Amino acid sequence: MSKCILITGASSGFGRDTAETLALAGHQVFASMRDVAGRNRPHANALQARGIHVIELDVTDDVSVERGVTSVLKTAGRLDVLINNAGIGSAGISEAFTTEQVRALFDVNVFGIQRTLRAVLPVFRDRRDGLIVNIGSILGRVTLPFFGLYGASKFAIEALTDSYRYELSKLGIDVVLVQPSNYPTNIFASAQRPGDAARGTGYGEIGAIPGKMVETLMELFEGDDAPNPHDVAEAIARVVEQPNGTRPARLVVGQSFGADVLNAQAVSIQTQLMKGLGLGEFVEPLKDLAAN
C-alpha cells in the first residue's frame, strides 16, 4: 500500500537515494532540505523531475520544521512515515573543535530529530499508526578516535530512539533505528573540521592521523570493491514495506565492526533492566524484534 513519507536531509546521499527509491516503489514522497531556492535548487529540480515533492525544511529551526510538516499535511492530507536522515559529520582532534561547533553538530544530528518528532507525533498518535525511521550509525555503538564527537551525537540517537520506541509501543507507532556502516556519501568529505586548529599542534604526529583516515576512506570509496550506498535505501524501503509490529528495532546495514554484537547484548540487558523496574510491558513486544 502506498504511504506518504517525509524525509529530512534529502538533497543528497542516503536521503536523496531513499527518496528516489521509495518514489519508484509507488510511495508519495516529500523530500525536505534547506535553501530550496538557492544552493539546493539543482537537487530540488532533479527530485521534482522524478515526481517527488520537495519542501523547505531546516531541522535546526522549530518554525521551519512545523511549517514543513504542515505543508505535507496540507498537500497529502496525511503522513505515514517520517525518516530522520538529516545529519552532518565531524572528523579531527576532539579538543580542537570549539563549543560552538559541537553545539551545531548536535543541533542537526540530535535536536533536529527531537524537533521533527514533536511536529509529527501528534498526527501519528491521533491515528494510532505511523513509522519513524532514525538514521544512526555504527559509530553510535563503537567508537573511533577523531570521530568521537560525531559518534557522541549518534550515541545520543541510540538512547533517544530506544526511549521513543518504549513510549510509543502501545500507540501503534513503530520506531526503527538504521545503523549504516562506512559508505561513500559526502558526509565526511564535507564534515566539520576543527575550528581551533592550533590546539591540534600539541598532539604532534597524532594530529595528522585524522586527515589520513579520511583520505584512506575516500580512496576505499573510489575502488572497485567500494560498498554501495544504495544498500541503505533498499534497507529502509524494506522496513517501510513491513507491517506495523513486525519491524526490527535496529538494523545494521553494511559491515558491522561489532555493532551487531553490541546490539544483541543491549537487548538482553535492556530487557532485564526494564523487567526489574516493573516496566516489562514495554519490552515484551520488542524482545524478539530487537534482535533481528
The pLDDT of residue 288:
43
Catalytic residues: 150
Fold of 4-259: Rossmann fold (3.40.50)
**From the centroid of its chain, how far is CA 195?**
25
The pLDDT of residue 161:
98
pTM comes to 0.93
pLDDT digits (tens, 9 = 90+) for 222-269: 776 778 999 999 999 999 999 999 999 999 999 999 999 999 999 999
The pLDDT of residue 285:
57
Question: Are 88 and 198 a contacting pair, CB within 8 Å?
Answer: no
**Structural domain boundaries in the chain:** 4-259
Alpha helices in the chain (DSSP H): 13-24, 41-48, 62-76, 99-106, 112-127, 148-168, 197-200, 209-222, 230-241, 259-276
The pLDDT of residue 287:
43
Q: Which residues of the chain have pLDDT under 50?
A: 287-292
